[in-house]
Amino acid sequence: MSIAWVVFRKELRETLRDRRTLMVMVAIPILLYPVLLIATEQFALMGIRRIESEASEVAVTGPASDDLMEFLAADQDLELLDVPYPVEAIRSEIVGAVAVFGPVAEEGGTQRATVLYDAADERSQRARTVLARALRSWDDTLLARRITERGLPPGFADPLAVADSSVARPEELGGYTLGRFLPMLLILMTLLGTFYPAIDLAAGEKERGTLEPLLTTPVPPRQIVVGKFMAVALIGVVAAALNLASMLLTFQTGLFQLGGSLDIEFALPWGSVLLIFGTLIPLAVLFASLFLGIALRSRSFKEAQTALTPVYLLVMVPALLPVFPGIGFTVALAAVPVAGLGIFFRELMAGSPALVPSMVAVATTGLWAWAALAFASASFGREDVLFGVGDAHVETGGGFRERLRRLLGPVSDTPSAAQAIGFVAAVAVLFFYMGFPLQAGWGERGLLLSEWLLLLLPAFLFVGVAGFDFGETFSFRRPEGRKVLGSVLLIAGGMPLGWFLAWAQGFVLPIPWDMLEGLEELITAESASRLLWLLALLALTPAICEEVVFRGVLLAGIRGRASAVRVAAFNGLVFGAFHISFESAFRFLPTAWLGFLLAWAVLATRSIWVGILMHFLNNGSIVLMASVPALRAWLEDGGEAPPWVLLAPALLAVAMGVKLLGGASDDSKMMGDAADSN
């Protein structure tokens, strides 16, 4: 630990000499926040006062009474103008709003009026507000006059007066307000505080040539990485602490007047502040270790910035969760990296957070930090990462195929993991921008085209143009009969287990039953010809096209890189993520489970045909169950949960299927070794 302490002091001293670090740590929170908050408030108040100081120009058309016109003319906030064409007058900014009156009502009746305004213009919005307020006041005057004329009591038209009053104290409102945006800022500033130091201490040292001499010293690489990550983590914690302190002091100085006008008190108990500081430490360790591990794999400062920028943007998504309304502090969300701690900060600022989710958020953040630290330590222990040479420049010249091959790097019989994952990412982007519009515009024909043209065709073009072996990449092998039976049993038992997973997931992520009912109507066949069409569209087409991409290209790139379980799990997660859309996030877990089963079977048989068969059986069964009333009624008898009688047979079928398939680990390792030797 003494060596790590020496490295820590050395890195901290050198990092603090960097102007960028000092700017992020000190200048931004101490100088910029007060200036930004106060300037923003003053500009907002100045704009509001300027608009409110001027009388709004309005007009009235239609059969309005003379009394009303006199009433409006006496309003000092209004300036009445005469315009022949209301819409044109508003668009040309002659007036801000126009009240268009309908026919005169019978005695005791209601005369209707419409206020025209431009919602895209602030002055017009102001004019609409003032004019509507004046008309409501005139309405109250008319109502009072009618009641008086008829000799009725003043409260006759107002039998119930409703008023609301919040029981929240000013400090509780302040905590609620702070909890909506301060956690996001704390997370992002902790991330930003570790961003540049991590790049400088890893890729920066590589670029300056100082990393190699450091690693040639007779000390364990783990001690070096511990010292480096301690320095980066400390800088991140200090940056976040300064941000929190600066913002709280700014709110409490009295210079920020908006809180006082709204009866809000921005204050946090010292216990909450210290708890936030304490929980920022594992978060900073998480960011520091993750960034160090990624930056170390880059060859220059610029390349590290490019590699870490997507990570930075990715972290912003869970960091924004505390801002959104309706996001509760559940145990499941508490375990999500970054998001759990952000929601914990929000609940802590608003009051007393729930004990169990709070403990889960802090504990899981520590676990994620430990995993990131292990990732960084593994990077420091690999010579190909530490001393890798070369650059990312791609030579030009030659035909398209030659350029693509140079871009992909060394080509063997099968794609590498990076090449396969890059291809799937490109296909996902292509499917997002072209597949969804095709399906939205052309319906079922669009779905068919998107599968064949955006999945199958790119996969064959990728393998053919890059020069990979079709048989090895797509596992075009004839499976053994025993293993085909095992794959059928595996999917037969796996389908009900997937239903139970979807049902259990519903306790965390609500299932949109209205959407499922609409989907059920689409996949229900009322005739034999319709049933055949749906089987071809929803079962056979995905079974071929999606298997070629996920159990073909992707699985060929990652098999043999880890144990069969890990390879199949990763394949399933990517497969599940691919099927997430704006309204179908609930499909992720059961689809990932399906992808895991398919990948396991293909690894065990070394044949993509069993994956196609299992995929077809899974999707085809769904179409049949939706189209056969007796099956659909039987499955729906249990309500939202699947029939529990299926659980034991499903587990038995899976166990028998796994036994018949045999050990996937040996086969996958053999395939990976063969690919590596090529």
Residues 439-471 pLDDT 10s:
888 888 999 999 999 999 999 999 988 889 999
pLDDT-derived band at 263 (thresholds 50, 70, 90) equals: low
Contact 610, 484 (CB under 8 A): yes
Parts of the chain belonging to CATH 3.40.190:
54-149
Per-residue confidence (pLDDT) for residue 389, from 0 to 100: 45
Enumerate the β-bridge partners of residue 97.
58, 117
Gap between the Cα atoms of 220 and 3, Å rounded: 9
pLDDT at 610 over 90: yes
CA max distance for the chain: 103
The secondary structure of 572-588 as a DSSP string is HHHHHHHT--SS-GGGH
pLDDT at 77 over 70: yes
Among 400-409, 543-552, 639-648, name the one with the lowest average pLDDT.
Answer: 400-409
Enclosing H/E stretch for 294 = helix 270-295
pLDDT-derived band at 23 (thresholds 50, 70, 90) equals: low
Residue of 647 and 258 predicted with greater confidence: 647
Q: What is the pTM of this model?
A: 0.64
Enumerate the β-bridge partners of residue 100.
61, 114
**How does strand 113-117 pair with strand 97-101?**
antiparallel
- Report the pLDDT averaged over residues 551-555: 95
Write phi, then psi, for 336 (nearest 5 degrees).
-75, 130
Contact 378, 200 (CB under 8 A): no
Q: What is the 3-state secondary structure (H, E, C) of 531-560?
A: HHHHHHHHHHHHHHHHHHHHHHHHHHHHCC
Residue-averaged pLDDT of the chain: 79
Per-residue confidence (pLDDT) for residue 493, from 0 to 100: 95
pLDDT at 388 over 70: no
pLDDT at 55 over 50: yes
pLDDT at 546 over 70: yes
- Report the pLDDT averaged over residues 588-602: 94
pLDDT-derived band at 390 (thresholds 50, 70, 90) equals: very low
Contact 593, 614 (CB under 8 A): no
Per-residue confidence (pLDDT) for residue 158, from 0 to 100: 77
Per-residue confidence (pLDDT) for residue 190, from 0 to 100: 81
Enumerate the β-bridge partners of residue 79.
57
Q: Tens of pLDDT along 555-581?
A: 999 998 888 999 999 999 999 988 876
Q: Tens of pLDDT along 331-370?
A: 878 888 888 888 888 888 877 788 888 899 989 988 988 8
Gap between the Cα atoms of 546 and 56, Å rounded: 62
Determine whether 129 is exposed, middle or buried from the number of CB atoms within 10 Å of its CB (0-12, 13-18, 19+): middle
- Report the pLDDT averaged over residues 572-594: 82
User: Cβ neighbours of residue 6 under 8 Å, at least 6 residues apart?
Assistant: 227
pLDDT at 283 over 70: yes
Tokens of 662: 């045999």
pLDDT-derived band at 295 (thresholds 50, 70, 90) equals: confident
Residue of 29 and 599 predicted with greater confidence: 599
Percent of the chain at pLDDT > 90 equals 25
Among 257-266, 315-324, 413-422, name the one with the lowest average pLDDT.
Answer: 257-266
Chain centroid, CA 158 distance in Å? 49
Report the 10 Å Cβ neighbour count for 291.
29
Q: Tens of pLDDT along 148-202?
A: 888 888 777 777 777 777 676 766 777 777 777 778 878 887 887 788 788 877 7
pLDDT at 489 over 90: yes
CA proximity to 168, closest of 248, 264, 256, 251: 264
Residue of 247 and 678 predicted with greater confidence: 247
pLDDT-derived band at 285 (thresholds 50, 70, 90) equals: confident
- Report the pLDDT averaged over residues 230-241: 79
Architecture category of domain 54-149 in CATH: 3-Layer(aba) Sandwich (3.40)
pLDDT at 392 over 50: no
Which of 59-73, 377-391, 506-520 has the highest mean predicted lDDT (pLDDT)? 59-73
pLDDT at 678 over 50: no
